[in-house]
A and B are shown apart, each in its own frame.
Chain A
Amino acid sequence: MKSIKKPFQLNLLTAAISSLLLYGCGDAETTIIEKEPIVVPDEDDHDDDHGDDEFTIESMGRLAVLSADSNQAVVFDLDDNQLLDTFSLIHNSNSLTASADYRFAVIASRSNDYVGFIDSGMWREDHGAHLHDYEQAPEMNHLELDGSRPTHIVKHDGHMAVFYDGDADSGIPAAVQVLTDTDISSEISNIHTLDYPVNMHGVAEPVGEYLLSTVRRDDAENTSAAKILPDQVAVYHLHDGEYEQEQILEVLCPDLHGAAQNGHAVLFGCSDGILVAHQHDEEFEAEKILNIEGLNGLRIGTIYGHEESETFIGIAAGHGGGEAILVKIDPENEEMETLEWQPAADASPVSYAFAYEGEAFLILDSKGFLNILTPHDHDGETHWELAGSVDISEEDVSTMPEGMKFSMTVAENGHYVYVADPIAQHVLQVHIEDMEIEGDIELDFAPANITWLGIAEEAHEDDEHDH
C-alpha cells in the first residue's frame, strides 16, 4: 500500500501556510505478510452460558497412523488433514491403540517387551470451574513400559490396563500395569502394578479402584485345555499403590480369553460360555451365560462392549481365523443369541468397533466393506440389524499385500469412522449415520493400523481389545 499524496485542503489559513512552505511530502509504506493462522481456544464465546465452553476446543481431533512398511508412526490433524509429525519407532513390529482418554497413541511391541506413547497434543483438563482443553504439537512421550510380552491393552473409564503375559521360557511371570493419561503425561515412575507368580495369556479389566484380572491356577487344577490360559477371575483392590487380591470369583471360566465391560457388567469369554461379573457394593458376583447351539461348537474369544449399550457383541471363531459367528450377549437378561447379520463366507471381518455413542456396531471386512449394524428394540429386547454397508475400497482387494489388512478407528467426538486402506494408501473418513465417505487423507506408505486421538466428546466408557 503506497501513500497517495493528498493536496492540501484549501482554506485561508492553510493556504497561507502552504504558500510559505515547501511541500515537504512525507511518505508512508506498509507491508503486510499474512502468516500461518493460529487456532485459538474459543474463549470469546460469550453467548454461551456455561463457562465450560470458554476453554474448550472445537476440533475433529487427530489420527495416529502406524506404517506397515517401516517402524514409523505419523500424526495427522483431522481438522485440515495436515500431517503434524512423523515419529520413528524403536522396534519393528508394533501394535497401535489409544490411551484411556485418547490423548496418547499407545505403541506396543509384544516381542520386544515394549510399550511407548506418542502425545497427540490434544487433551482436556478439569480445572474445577471449567474444563480446559489444550491443543499442542504432538511429541514423543518419554515413558516406556518394559514388562514382558505386553499383549492385551484394555481401557475403561480413564484407566488403561496393560496385561503382560510373561514368558514361560525365561520364567518371567505375568503382570498388569494400570495407567491414566495423567500418569503417562507426568511420566510416572511408580506405576500401579499387579504381579503374578506365573506367566499366562490373560486379561485385566479396570473398574475404578478395582481391577478384575485373570488367575491361572496350577496346571493340575486349571480347567483350561490350553494351560497358558487362565480359568478364574479375581478382584484386586488398590491399596497404597499396589493391587491386593480381595476376592476370587466363584464361577470358573475355562480357557478364558477376551473381556469387555459396559459400566454395569464385566464379561469374560470362556470355552463354555460367558462369565458375567456384577458389582454389588464392595462385592462382585459372578454368573455364567452358557454357549448356545448357534455357535456351532465355537467359543466366544472376543467381546465388544460400550457404555451406552446394554448388550455386548461377542465374536466366536475357530482358533486361527476362519468362520466367525457374531452373537449378541445380554447380561441383564442372561441371554445370548446369534445376530441376524453374519459375515459372508468370503469376507472375513478384520476389525470391529462400537461407534462413539454406542449407536452402531461396525464390522470392517476383508472385501473392503464397512458393515454398519444398529440396535432395534423389539418387545424389550435389543436386536442388532444391518443398517447398510459402505464399500470403502475401489481397489482389487485380492492385491492386498501379504500380512496387511484394512483397519479402522472410531472418532470419539462425532459420528465418524476412519478406515485405512493399505492398497490405496489412504485413510477415508466415513460418516456413520449418513454412510458416506466424506474425506480422505493420502498416505505415502501402507498403513498397518490407525487410531483416533483427541478430546472425547463425553466421558463415556469404551472397551476395546487390542491384540
Chain B
Amino acid sequence: MFKISPIAALLSVLLPASVLAQSIEGTVKNSDGEVIAGASIKVEGSTNKVVTDQTGRFVIDGLNIGNNEFHIAVPGYAHLHQDVTLAKDENKSLTLTLSRSPIEVIDIVSTPIHMSVMESAAPVNVITGETLRRQQAATLGDTLEKLPGVQTNFHGNVASTPIIRGLSGPRVLIAQNGLDVSDVSRVGPDHSVAAESSTSQQIEVLRGPATLFYGSGAIGGVVNVVDGRVPTDSTTRGEWLLENSSVNDQKLASFNATTGTDSFGFYADGYWRKSNDYEVPVEAEAGHDDHDHDDDHDHDESHDYTVENSAEESSGFTLGGSYLFDKGYVGLAVEQFNREYGIPGHSHGDEAENVYADLAQTKVQLLGEFNIGSDWIKKVNLRTGFTNYEHAEVEAGEIGTLFESQTEELKVDVIQNTYLDWNGGLSLHYKNSEVAAQGEEAFTPPSTAQTIALGLMEEKHIGDVLLQFGARVERVTLTADNVLLPMLEAHGHEEAHEDQDSDEHDHEDDHAHEEESNITRVFAVDHEFTPVSLSAGLVWEFTQGYNLGVSISRSQRAPSASELLSFGPHIGTGSYEVGALFGMHQEDGETHIELTEKTIDLETANNIDITLRKSQGDLAFVFNVFYNQVDNYYYQTDTGLFAESGHDHEEDEHDHGAEDEAGHDEHSDELPVYIFQTQDVILHGFEAQVAWQVTSEFKATVFSDFVRARLKGGGDLPRTSPMRFGTQLSYENENLSAHLDITRYQKQDKITSTETETDGYTMVDASVSYDVPMFNQDMAVYLKGNNLTNTEARVHTSFIKNVAPRPGRNISVGVRGYF
C-alpha cells in the first residue's frame, strides 16, 4: 500500500475526472431585458461551447463538479465572466445579463491567461470581422494603423510594417497563429511581412512588452495574425471577397472556407492581388531642400504623379485539415505564399533600373489542443511550425541579393486546472532559425538563432481584483561562423553634411580611409543570452463597469543578428550598416572600425502601464498611459562617414564583359555609415479611445495616441510616430453600414540630426456597405474611399517619406459574401 499510493496519485493526475452529469440551462439577455441570440458561451478550459438560439436560450451538459467558469461573448456587448458552482448531478437554470459595449471586445486567442481590450492588465487590441475587412490593406502595417498605439512605417504601399508605441523592427514580433511568421521583415523596412490580412480571421496586437508570451523579439509588442487554417470544428462556413481600387488599379480576390465531417475538419483559403504603381496627389519626390536620403532617387521630370515602382502582385493559398475528437483537435496546414513587389526608392543612381523583391514562403503548421481534464492539467495546447522562406531582390533581371531563412518552432502550453483560484499555465517554447543572405546587400552574415524558453503565467480573481503574473526565462544562442570585418574605406564628406557636426564625430578634413589593406578579418561569433522577463498586473473593477489596470514588467531582449553582426550596405535603409559587435577607433586622425571593446549585453525594458476603462453602457472608454525605460537600447547612430555601397560590383559574375557598366563609380553610390550602439532610452505616451453609442444605429468614437521616444542622455530617436487624433463615426442598421474616419497626424518635429521634420496631415476615409441577401448567402456590396481630400501625406515613420507619400484619393468597389 505504501508503495502504491504515489503511483495512484500520479494516475489520478493523468486520468480524466469521472463521468460528468452536471448541466446548466439558461437565457442570455441584455440590460433592457431583451434576449440575445447568437451569444457564444464557452466553458473555460474545455472545448465545450454553445451558442444561444433565437430566444436567447442555451443548454450545456457535461460540466464539472465544483466551480465552472463561463465566458459569454457577443459582438456589441461587454464580455461576461460567470462562475457557477455545481454539486454532483446538479442541474442549474440561470439568466445571464450582458451590458452593451460600444468598444468591440474580442478575446485574444492563444495566451494562457485571459486578455482583451477590456479585461487585461496589459493593453491589447484585436480587430476581426467586418472591421478587419474594412481596414485590411496590402500590407500588415497599413491594415493595423487605425488601432490606437499602432502606426505604420508606410513603405510605399508595398512593405509596411506596424510600429507599436514607437517601436518596430526586431522589437515587434509578427506571428501567425502564435508562431513566428519567419520572414526577413524585421531587418529591413523594404522587406514585406509574409502574412496576409485578407484571409485572416482576426489580428491581435499586444502593445508594450510581450516577451512573456512570445520571447525575445517581442519587447515592443506583438502582432498575431490568426486564421482558421487548422479548423477546430467542422461547421461549414466561408467568406469571399472581390475588390477593385482606383488609386493603383488594385484587384483583389480572396476566400476562405471551412467544412468537414464529425471527425474531420477541412480548411482552404486563397487570395490574389495585383496592383500598379499608385497615384499620388503631388510629385512623389519631396522638395529638394531635404538631403537626409542622399537623393539617391533620381529626380523624374515627368508629371504623372505616381510613385514609381510601387506595383505589387501577390498570391497565396492554404490547405488545412484536422482531426476532431471529444477532447480536442489536432491538425496540419500548409501555406504557400508568394509576393512580388517593386521597391520604391530602391534605386542606385540609375533611373532605368527598377528593383523588385520576389518572396516565397512555405509554411507548415501543426496545431492541436488536448483537453486532458485530469486533476491537475486542464489542457495542453500544441503549436508547431516549419517555414522555409526565400526573398530575392532582383535588379536588371538578375538577383542582387537573396535572403533565405528556415525556422522550426515548437510551443507547448500546459494549462493547469484551477488551483486555489489560480488559473494559468506553463509554456515551453523552442525556436530555431537559420538566416542567410548572399549578394550585394548581404549586410548580415549567415547566422543561426536558437531559443529555448520556459514561461509561467497565472491569474486569480480576488473579489473585484484580477491579478496576473508572469515570468519567463530564455536561453538564446546566436551563432555565426563567418562574421566579416572588412577594411572599410570610409571617409567624411564635409560639404554635404555641415548640418550634422554633432559632438559624436570630429570633422577631419582629410579622408579617413585605409589605403592599401584588403584584408577581411573573419570571426566565429557565439553569443549566449539568458533574458529573463517578469510581469505583474492587476485589473481592479473598482465600481460596476469601470476598471483600472496596472501592469508592470521587466523584459529582456537578446539583440538580433542584424544589430550585432551587420557589416555592409543596406539600400532599404539607405545606409551602410555596422553591427554593435564593432566599434569605431580613432588612430592617427583616421577612423578605423574594429571589434568593439564594449560588452554585448541584453536590452532591458522596464515598463509600467496604467489603464482606466469604462467597459459598459452607451459610453465606453479606454485610457492608457505608459512609461517604458529601455536600458541598453540598440540603435543606429550616424558615424559621419561614408562608404561605397558596393553596388554593381558582383564578383561572382563572369559574363560581365558585354554589359555596359559605365558610370558605376559615381559618388551617389556612397552610403552614410551607421553603427549600432546602445544607450538608455525612454519612451512614454498615451492612447485614448472613447466610444459613444448614440442610438442603436449610430456610434461615435474619438481616439488619440502619442509617443515620445528619447535618449536618456538627451536627443531623440529617429522616425518616431507623430501624435495623432481622430474620430470614427458609424451608422449601422439591418442592411446598411456606413463609416467615416477622420484622422489627424500632427507634425513631427522631435527628430534626429539626420532626419527632417514632417508636416502634419489629415486623412479622411469613408465606407458604405449594403447587405443584399442572394442565393441563400449573406452578401454585401461596398464602396470605400480613402484620402478623400486627396491630400499630400508624407509619413514621418517611413524610410522613404521623401520619395513615396501616401496614395491620393482612392475609391474601392467590392462585393463580399458569407456562407
Contact = CB atoms under 8 A, between A and B. Distances in A.
Nearest to A3: B601
Contacts of A31: 525-528
Contacts of A9: 629, 631, 680, 712
A58 B665 CA distance: 20
Given A14-B629, A125-B654, A36 B522 contact: yes
A6 B526 CA distance: 22
A129 B661 contact: yes
B289 to A, nearest CB: 27
A24 B606 CA distance: 11
A53 to B, nearest CB: 10
B509 interface: no
A26 B602 contact: yes
A30 B656 CA distance: 41
B524 A35 contact: yes
A43 to B, nearest CB: 5
A37 interface: yes
A29 B559 CA distance: 12
Nearest to A13: B627
Interface string B506-520: 000001010010111
A33 interface: yes
Nearest to A11: B629
B696 interface: no
Interface band, chain B: 35 or more
Interface residues of A, number: 53
Interface stretch (A15-23, A270-278, A296-304): A15-23
B488 interface: yes
A396 interface: no
A361 to B, nearest CB: 31
Given A13-B627, A24-B471, A32 B534 contact: no
A26 B529 contact: yes
Nearest to B642: A46
Given A28-B599, A129-B656, A22 B529 contact: no
A379 interface: no
A45 B662 CA distance: 16
A32 B478 CA distance: 12
B268 to A, nearest CB: 43
Given A41-B651, A46-B489, A49-B665, A30 B525 contact: yes
Contact of B523 (A24, A35, A58, A128): A35
A14 B712 CA distance: 13
B588 interface: no
B284 interface: no
A45 B646 CA distance: 10
B670 interface: yes
Interface in B127-171: none
Given A44-B486, A44-B646, A46-B644, A29 B527 contact: yes
B649 interface: yes
Name the prevailing secondary structure of the B interface residues. strand
B659 A129 contact: yes
Given A47-B511, A47-B513, A127-B656, A21 B536 contact: yes
B606 A26 contact: no
B600 A1 contact: yes
A21 B533 CA distance: 10
Most B CB within 10 A of own CB, among A22, A30, A128: A30
Given A27-B529, A40-B518, A128-B658, A17 B643 contact: no
Nearest to A15: B606
B447 to A, nearest CB: 13
B661 A58 contact: no
B522 A21 contact: no
Contact of A32 (B525, B530, B604, B643): B525
A34 interface: yes
Contact of A18 (B516, B524, B532, B606): B606
A283 B465 CA distance: 108
Interface stretch (B89-97, B393-401, B550-558, B745-753): B550-558
A39 B536 contact: no
Interface string A89-131: 0000000000000000000000000000000000001111110
Given A2-B599, A6-B631, A14 B518 contact: no
Contact of B522 (A38, A43, A57, A128): A38
Contacts of B604: 26
Given A37-B521, A51-B665, A44 B644 contact: yes
Given A9-B631, A28-B601, A127-B656, A45 B526 contact: no
Interface of B: 471, 473, 482, 484, 486-489, 511, 513, 516, 518-534, 536, 552-554, 556, 558, 581, 595, 599-602, 604, 606-608, 627, 629, 631-632, 643-644, 646, 649, 651, 654, 656-662, 664-665, 669-670, 680, 712
27 contacts: A13-B606, A13-B608, A16-B552, A17-B606, A17-B607, A24-B471, A24-B532, A24-B534, A24-B554, A25-B532, A26-B529, A26-B602, A26-B604, A28-B529, A30-B527, A30-B528, A30-B600, A32-B524, A37-B519, A39-B520, A44-B646, A46-B489, A46-B669, A47-B513, A55-B649, A128-B659, A129-B656
Interface of A: 1-4, 6, 8-9, 11, 13-14, 16-18, 20-22, 24-47, 49, 51, 54-55, 57-58, 125-130, 132
List 5 tightest A-B contacts by C-beta distance, closest first.
Answer: A24-B532, A128-B657, A27-B530, A26-B556, A35-B522
